[in-house]
Amino acid sequence: EKTWFDMPCDATHVSVSESVSSLSTNDFSIPWETWRNEFAGIEMTYETYERLNSEFKRRNNIRHKMLSYFTTQSWKTAQQHLRTINHQSQDSRIKKLDKFQFIIIEELENFEKDSQSLKDLEKEFVDFWEKIFQKFSAYQKSEQQRLHLLKTSLAKSVFCNTDNEETVFTSEMCLMKEDMKVLQDRLLKDMLEEELLNVRRELMSVFM
């Protein structure tokens, strides 16, 4: 969409120049019949009319030239300012477009950096969880080994085999019986010897 300062200036300049140049000096002359009708009370010869009319034409011609010059200079000045406005407007648009392009390129570069950072973060996250999983697996395996060792130790130390205990008990009871028998035999022997000694003493005391 074109603005008013984007329109070509030459066509407007031609139309203005033609409008000004089309005004002839004859358009400003007063006909003799009109002069006579309008100024009937004033006595004037045709020669005086011609002289006044020539002076009127000369002044109008000067004014016409001044107006034409002023119009031309005004249009040139306006055209120069319009070109300046157009140039500055285009420069401003180009600068804004360049700035917008720079922002887009910069944001694309930032987006690529952020994407790479996100990929690196994702890789670090995966590596981190792999390490956690490996450590957890090692801990779980160690815990299973520890539980197995505790169960085995508990079974061997606390809940021992009853057959083994029965064998030990039977063996110890047999040994205890044998020891008790030996003690009983020794006790009986000692008691018998003591009684025999007492009997001997009594007999000796009687017969002596």
Instruction: Say if residue 22 is in the same domain as residue 100.
Output: yes
Instruction: Say if residue 94 is in the same domain as residue 28.
Output: yes
CA dihedral 81, 83, 86, 88 (to 10 degrees): -70
Instruction: Say if residue 195 is in the same domain as residue 111.
Output: no
Residue 156's pLDDT is what? 74
pLDDT band per the 50, 70, 90 thresholds, residue 179: confident
Residue 30's pLDDT is what? 65
Instruction: Say if residue 22 is in the same domain as residue 81.
Output: yes
Residue 20's pLDDT is what? 40
Which range of residues forms the domain containing residue 176?
164-208
| Max avg pLDDT among 30-39, 113-122, 177-186 | 113-122
Residue 69's pLDDT is what? 92
Higher per-residue pLDDT: 2 or 124: 124
Instruction: Say if residue 112 is in the same domain as residue 182.
Output: no
Pair of tokens at residue 7? 């329109």
Residue 5 inside a domain? The answer is no
Pair of tokens at residue 42? 């004033």
Instruction: Say if residue 103 is in the same domain as residue 170.
Output: no
134-156 mean pLDDT: 87
Residue 158's pLDDT is what? 64
* Cβ partners under 8 Å of residue 31, min gap 6: none
91-119 mean pLDDT: 92
Q: Is the pLDDT of residue 53 over 80?
A: no
Instruction: Say if residue 16 is in the same domain as residue 118.
Output: yes
Q: Is 30 helix (H, G, I), strand (E, B) or coil?
A: coil
95-117 mean pLDDT: 93
* Out of 28-37, 125-134, 142-151, least confident range: 28-37
* Cβ partners under 8 Å of residue 16, min gap 6: 71, 75
Give how many domains the chain has, as a whole number. Answer: 2
Last residue of a domain, one of 107, 127, 147: 127
Last residue of a domain, one of 108, 127, 146: 127
* Out of 32-36, 44-48, 105-109, least confident range: 32-36
Contact by Cβ (8 Å): 57, 25: yes
Q: Is the pLDDT of residue 76 over 80?
A: yes
Residue 205 inside a domain? The answer is yes
Give residue 52's Cα distance to chain centre.
88
Instruction: Say if residue 194 is in the same domain as residue 95.
Output: no
* Out of 34-43, 111-120, 162-171, least confident range: 34-43
Last residue of a domain, one of 127, 151, 186: 127
Residue 104 inside a domain? The answer is yes
Give the chain's mean pLDDT.
78
